Structure formats: C-alpha cells, structure tokens
Amino acid sequence: MRWVESGDVRLAVFEEGDPANPTVLLLHGYPDTHRVWDEVAALLRDRYHVVRYDMRGAGESTAPRDRRDYGFDRLVADLGAVIDAVIGAGGGPRVHLVGHDWGSLQGWEALGRAGLRDRIASFTSLGGPGLRQTAHFLRHGKRRDVAAQRIKSWYIGAFQVPVLPELAWASVMPGIISRTLRREGISPRPGHPAPTLADDGRNGLWMYRRNMGVAGDRASATCPCRSSRPRGTPS
C-alpha cells in the first residue's frame, strides 16, 4: 500500500502486477472498499498493472474535514492524483478505467474533464450510468420504465433526510448488507464487507447529498467506453 495526498485527504492505494504492463484502475462503489475487486484483481495481475484505492471516507483512506468535499470536483481530483502517482503526471501512459456503482459515476465525470480524459485509454462502466445519461433517461425514457426505476432508487431520496440514515448505519444497516449478500449467494469473506462498513456507509451518504441533482459535465467522451449491467434488470 502507498498513500496519495489529495487536498486534505490521504488515499490508500494498492498495486499488483508489473508496472511495465498496461495499467487497469478499478474504482469501487458505495458502500464498498477496494476489497470488492479482490477476485477481479487476482485474474488480471499476471497481465496488467492493477491499481485500486479506497475512495475518500472509505476503508483505509481518510475522510475530508468538510462534508461538502464529497462533490464530483473533489472525487475526480482524487482519481487524477492517483493516476499521477502510479503512472506519472503529464502526457505519459494512460490507464484502462473500470468503475462500479459510484466508481462508474466518477468515471463518467472524469471523461468530461479536459485535464483528465486524456489520461484514460478506455472506460468500462458496471452498473452505474453517468448523471447526463440518467437525466436523459428520466426525461425521455418510457414512463413505465422511468417509474419502475424511481421505485428501485427510493433510497436516493431517503439518503437526503438528515440524521436518520446515519442512525441506520450505526445500528441496522451493516447487518442488512450482510444478509442481502448471503441472499444473493455472495458469502462474506475477509475484507468484504469491510470492518469499516458502518463508517464507510455514513461518510458515503455525502456523495449522494452533494451530487444528486448535479446535471453532469456535458463534454463528450473521447475514449472507448463499454457499459455492462446484469441480465434481467432495467437500464
């Protein structure tokens, strides 16, 4: 592990494989840590330089002093700081970016930032459309599909409520997460769910509070992109 500074936050960065190989950077979602990618990293590390990091406020990374510092500007700055640290600043090598959930949202945002998108060779999005794509779907999607997705996304509104989500993470939510994983056939293992799950959940609420309602950057992506979702789920 190495530490990367980004503003007042220290990011815990983990690397595997030969740095001379192409770099794959894996971005986790909420309320996960870099450990959610363990099995994927094991499959890639013989052929790639695999980089993972705990996002601000998650896992071994520190949280910002100001809760307002969970906005996309800060999150994307974290990504840029990690890329600079592991492959060098400037016009050097580029990374293959893979994001899941909130990691995917940050990837879409990064593609819209002129100073960062040139560092990205390709982007694979797993289960997380960008805010611009989401806004387009909500405006132009079939009403039945939009209504179904709003029902599935009820928690986004719930996370805006003061205090109650924090209380839930301090009490019942860690147990609910573990039971949900088992119900989906995912056995808990060392590192996932993380021992920091309750704190990660509370801290990550501020990503929803600071970013939901933001229109998203309108710049076009300039690298190959791939989006993936489980079969049988709505777009």
pLDDT in tens, 44-58: 999 999 999 999 999
User: Of the ranges 5-19, 20-34, 58-72, 108-122, which one carries the lowest mean pLDDT score?
Assistant: 108-122
Q: Domain for residue 235, yes or no?
A: no
Q: Domain for residue 233, yes or no?
A: no
Res 233 pLDDT > 50:
no
The set of residues, in sequence order, having a beta carbon less than 8 Å from that of 234 and lying 6+ positions away, is 145, 148, 149, 152
- Stretch 141-152: mean pLDDT, rounded? 84
Q: Domain for residue 66, yes or no?
A: yes
Q: Domain for residue 98, yes or no?
A: yes
Task: Give Cα separations from 49 to 55, 63, 97, 149, 168 (angstroms).
Answer: 19, 27, 12, 37, 38
The domain of 40 spans 2-228
Q: Domain for residue 14, yes or no?
A: yes
Residue 185 sits at φ, ψ, to 5 deg, of 85, 15
Instruction: Give me the count of residues in the chain.
Output: 235
The set of residues, in sequence order, having a beta carbon less than 8 Å from that of 19 and lying 6+ positions away, is 49, 86, 87
pTM for this predicted structure: 0.88
Query: CB of 11 within 8 A of CB of 4?
Result: yes
Query: CB of 55 within 8 A of CB of 79?
Result: no
Q: Domain for residue 111, yes or no?
A: yes
- Stretch 155-179: mean pLDDT, rounded? 95
Please report the pLDDT score of residue 199 as a whole number: 98
Q: Which residues of 42-69 are buried (b: 16+ CB within 10 A; e: fewer)?
A: eebbeebbbbbbbbbbbbbbbbbeeeeb
What confidence category does residue 88 fall into, taking pLDDT thresholds of 50, 70 and 90?
confident
Query: What mean pLDDT is reported for the chain?
Result: 89
Q: Based on the structure, what is the number of domains in the chain? A: 1
- Stretch 160-180: mean pLDDT, rounded? 95
Please report the pLDDT score of residue 205 as a whole number: 98
Res 235 pLDDT > 50:
no
* Dihedral Cα 64, 162, 106, 146, nearest 10 deg: 180
Give the residue among 132, 107, 102, 128 at the shortest CA–CA distance from 117.
107
C-alpha span between 37 and 183 (Å, rounded): 20
Question: Looking at residue 136, which CATH number applies to its domain?
Answer: 3.40.50.1820
Across 3-7, 108-112, 212-216, 218-222, which has the greatest mean pLDDT? 3-7
Q: Domain for residue 188, yes or no?
A: yes
Query: CB of 107 within 8 A of CB of 78?
Result: no
Surface-to-core class of residue 207, CB atoms within 10 Å of its CB (0-12 exposed, 13-18 middle, 19+ buried): buried
Q: Domain for residue 234, yes or no?
A: no
